[in-house]
Structure 1
Amino acid sequence: MYLLLVDDDGRLTRLLDHLLRQAGHTVDVAHDGRVAAALMAQGDYDLLVLDWMLPHEAGISLCQRARAEGFEGGILMLTARDALEDRLEGFAAGADDYLLKPFEPEELLARLEALGRRACRPLSQRCLQVGGWTLECDDRRVIHGERSVALTLREFQLLELLMRRAGHSVPRELIYERLWGRDQAVTDNALDATLRLLRRKLERVAARQPIETLRGLGYRFTDEA
């Protein structure tokens, strides 16, 4: 799943970002409401994890904004506010679930998995389609025509990122951040190896592979490659 995690606690977001990536999810992180709103406008997220109290714009306002703009994915609110009135306000704003701080990270993961299963998302959001290519997000499989191939976690995360931004260049720096996280020490060889293996798999199901190298810019997914 593609998640937006919004919390101004840097230590907590680093921990959750790591756990979510280890569980196979793609994660964007924001530490204030202004940045979160900008990411929400650009990203096609499956789930939002919103802290209630945030600089610049509160999580409850972001929740209301998302629903007003037609967001149909799951929204989980994080907060230390445990009054019934607060919980009711969160649900009225469009939240699907509510987790009180402090919490165990494993409980958050379990709640997100449950939200992902029942969130009202159209089928197209579980399958990314660009031209003749289809990425099955549930079982990490890419399809072209009548042929398909399974992907490893890293291959899937890389292809998902490129397909979500099809037609646009994706810098190497962004790929490192999305696949491995800001705090992970990763060599250039890790990305090069993942990309090489992914391209080979794509060539198995089609006479060509759709990932272009843009020198000095990064990579681009195009069905015309």
Structure 2
Amino acid sequence: MFSQLKQDLRAVFDRDPAVRSVFEVIFCYPGFHAMLFYRPSHWLWTHRCHFLGRFVSHVGRFMTGIEIHPGAVIGPSFFIDHGMGVVIGETAEIGENCTLYHGVTLGGTSWAKEKRHPTLEDNVVVGSGAKILGPFTVGRDSKIGSNSVVVKEVPKSATVVGIPGRVVLSGEQQSGVDLEHGNLPDPVAKAVSCMMEQIGRLEDQVQGLKQEQQALKAELARTRGTESR
């Protein structure tokens, strides 16, 4: 537990350029505070002290605005940036070196007492406000765009945006954790751009047809004038 907390502390320095000192992280970072509550609450939960685990988790929620169920499984070097409004459900599983921004929900879509929350593999980045709902896997090295709603499996090294979430890039092998979750392609803008290009080509074709029509009319008028003579 303590070794994982040390790795969580190191993750803050690796992924937040605003951090200045260890004391700043310990006293001023709610994402790290949430892990200080989660790690012991998870230990209590796995040792069948369910009430104490939930109580520690609830205190952490009150103190940080971040709700992590003690039954969730979270790997080392986990980082929650800003943190307010993050919700991680009971059967969620998170791998190593994952990053969540504020407003993220790892939620379930069933009332059954079974696996109902998502699994995030290593090096996944989830942008602010994103919702990942259901018992499926988000592949390693993937990025989920801000405010996306993901409801189905995500392959590894993929980039997902939109509502519902759509894979717009895939197969790009990342080197380490890529925090450029705000620099993502916009499939709607791309579709509109393609449509405008197509409209431009159609307008050119229509203009060409009009010119041909005018030329034919002029030729027909000359032919009729010659015949009338």
Fold in common (TM above 0.5): no
Larger radius of gyration: 2
- Between Structure 1 and Structure 2, the one with more strand by share is 1
> Normalising by structure 2, what TM-score?
0.31
Give TM-score scaled by structure 1 length.
0.31
